[in-house]
Amino acid sequence: MISIQNLTKQFGATVAVQNLSFDVDEGQVFGLIGPDGAGKTTTLRVISTAMRPTSGRVTVGGVDVTRDPGAVNQLIGYMPQRFALYPDLTVLENLNFFADILGSPRAQRAALLARLLGFSRLTEFQTRLARNLSGGMQKKLALAATLMHTPRVLLLDEPTTGVDPVSRREFWDLLTEVHLQNVTIVISTPYLDEAERCARVGLMYRGQLIACDDPRTLRDEMRAVVFEAQSEHALRARKLIEQGEGVLTVSTHGDLLRVIVDRAERAATIQTAWQTNGIAISDLRAVKPRLEDAFVLMLTADGRPPTVEQNAVSRQRSAVG
């Protein structure tokens, strides 16, 4: 449904996206993951025809986004990061306005409005001004407006950023309903628990695609072992081992230590180092790797700094409490 071949987008001397290539199958949920500045938004804007590529080729449903942007716009619905609806219009007025803009047939308008208001749980709020909606309700309204012309492809740019965990869950419930209608969904997100919901994910870093596969494969192919432990002196314990042989990354979350090593035998050496230095550690255990572990390791390869991905990881943790 979407084909990106050698896409490059430059802004003057700045290369936002460099030689990017991947495909998205019809009916697939595809996630774009990466830290701020990775090129996710630029990629979605090129797909949506809001930007012209510097070079390369992008097609949606076989239609070139540069040669026939009008035809592409009939196929897609695009939801940008920021709330793009009109705050001084009511929920219903916003939906009617975007129905006109997107060319939704008037003969089917009433039925479509009723369906989308019910779908987004906004029926009882249809006379409320958009500016008076909560953040989560604004996201639902934006999604409903994007669907007013029943697109075959949905492009979502960090749609759940800044909303509470309950609203995030409800938004994904709505996306599941859309997906069941065989709509192709491309979503960029900083939340790696959301990436786990995608059939395939692509990790972007500095405009390049670092990895692209289904989440399970990315986790299973991680050539490392993950350990967790508890300590009242977690920061001291981290500093003691983070430069040790075979230690790939160490992170702390309160009194929890999360250590990624190249092989399981390293655990005994690490534990001895802690004991020798008088650091009490409890409940040291091997755990299943998460998608964030795989991505952090990919970003630390070839000298890439691990702190870059921590921006997305910390936002994930704060959102889920």
In the block, which residue shows the tokens 């492809």?
153
Residue 94: helix, strand or coil by DSSP?
helix
**pLDDT recorded at residue 312:** 40
Looking at residue 131, the DSSP 8-state letter turns out to be: G
Domains 2-218 and 219-320 share a fold: no
User: What predicted TM-score, i.e. pTM, was given to this entire model?
Assistant: 0.81
Burial track 236-258 (b if 16+ CB lie within 10 A, e otherwise): ebbebbeeeebbbbbbbeeeebb
> Would you state the structure tokens that stand for residue 113, as one six-digit string?
């409005």
**pLDDT recorded at residue 220:** 84
**pLDDT recorded at residue 308:** 34
**pLDDT recorded at residue 298:** 82
**pLDDT recorded at residue 19:** 95
Helices (H), 201-306: 215-220, 234-241, 266-276, 291-300
> Would you state the structure tokens that stand for residue 221, as one six-digit string?
């192919």
* Architecture in CATH for domain 219-320: 2-Layer Sandwich (3.30)
pLDDT in tens, the chain (321 residues): 999 999 999 999 999 999 999 999 999 999 999 888 899 999 999 999 999 999 999 999 999 999 999 999 999 999 998 877 899 999 999 999 988 887 777 877 888 899 889 888 899 999 999 999 988 889 899 998 888 888 999 999 999 887 788 888 888 988 998 999 999 999 998 888 888 899 999 999 999 998 999 999 988 888 889 999 888 888 889 998 888 888 888 888 888 989 998 888 888 888 888 988 988 888 888 888 888 888 888 877 644 444 333 444 334 433 333
Where are the chain's structural domains? Answer: 2-218, 219-320
Distance of CA 60 to the CA centre of its chain: 20
Q: Which amino acid is at 136?
A: G
d(CA 164, CA 176): 19
Fold topology of 2-218: Rossmann fold (3.40.50)
**pLDDT recorded at residue 300:** 73
- Cβ 43 vs Cβ 20: under 8 Å: yes
Residue 233: helix, strand or coil by DSSP?
coil
d(CA 23, CA 184): 12
d(CA 121, CA 262): 48
